[in-house]
Amino acid sequence: MIGFLRGKIAEKTPDRIILDVGGVGYEIAVPVTTYSKLPGPGAEAQLHVHTHVREDALQLFGFQSREELNLFRLLINTPEIGPRLAVNILSVLGPQGFVRAVAAKDQTSLRRVPGLGPKKAEKLLVELKDKVDGMAAGLPEASGPPSVREDLLSALKNLGYKAEEVSPVIYEVMKKSPSAPVEELLREALRHLYRR
């Protein structure tokens, strides 16, 4: 199993990076919270990695902090929560936002995540309530460099939205907060989409 990787970023999009480690390019799925904290292509980066093995695939999921990796593993060990949905949860709510939502039994916040319906949200609250107590202190707050429209559009498309339905929303949120980090813009865009 791969525990962490260190190398140069060859490519970077809101949902994945390719990390060049000694001439080998590892494709690593990342949540938006990790993406926003990583430097640009050509720079050195290190990620804590979860190796997910299935019969038909070997996938790598990368995180900026060990606490975020532990939260991801907690999520995928919950019935009906796969790695893609766990990444979506961390991307939309952020680690602290997710922990706070579970601690407050806030099903409305959880349901903003594409693919997380009322039954799964309720099950998450029941399964994880006791497990997340005290976790928020070690988790990173959402922060990062300003994002561009293409990054936000790509993140929303990766969450299952169509470009034509999100373009007006992206325009509105970027007009309101043009220099906000990508995860903040993503949360605001999802709030708008959820209200529709």
Q: How does pLDDT run across 116-168, given as a tens digit for each residue?
A: 888 888 888 888 877 876 665 555 554 433 345 777 777 887 788 877 677 77
CA-nearest of 179, 113, 112, 123 to 152 is 179
Q: Quick one: the chain helix, strand, coil %, rounded to 5?
A: 45, 20, 35
Global confidence as pTM: 0.70
pLDDT tens per residue, range 12-33: 988 899 999 999 999 999 998 8
Give me the mean pLDDT over the 86-113 stretch.
85
For residue 75, the tally of other CB atoms under 10 A from its CB is 21
Name residue, tokens 């460099």. 145
What's residue 93's pLDDT?
83
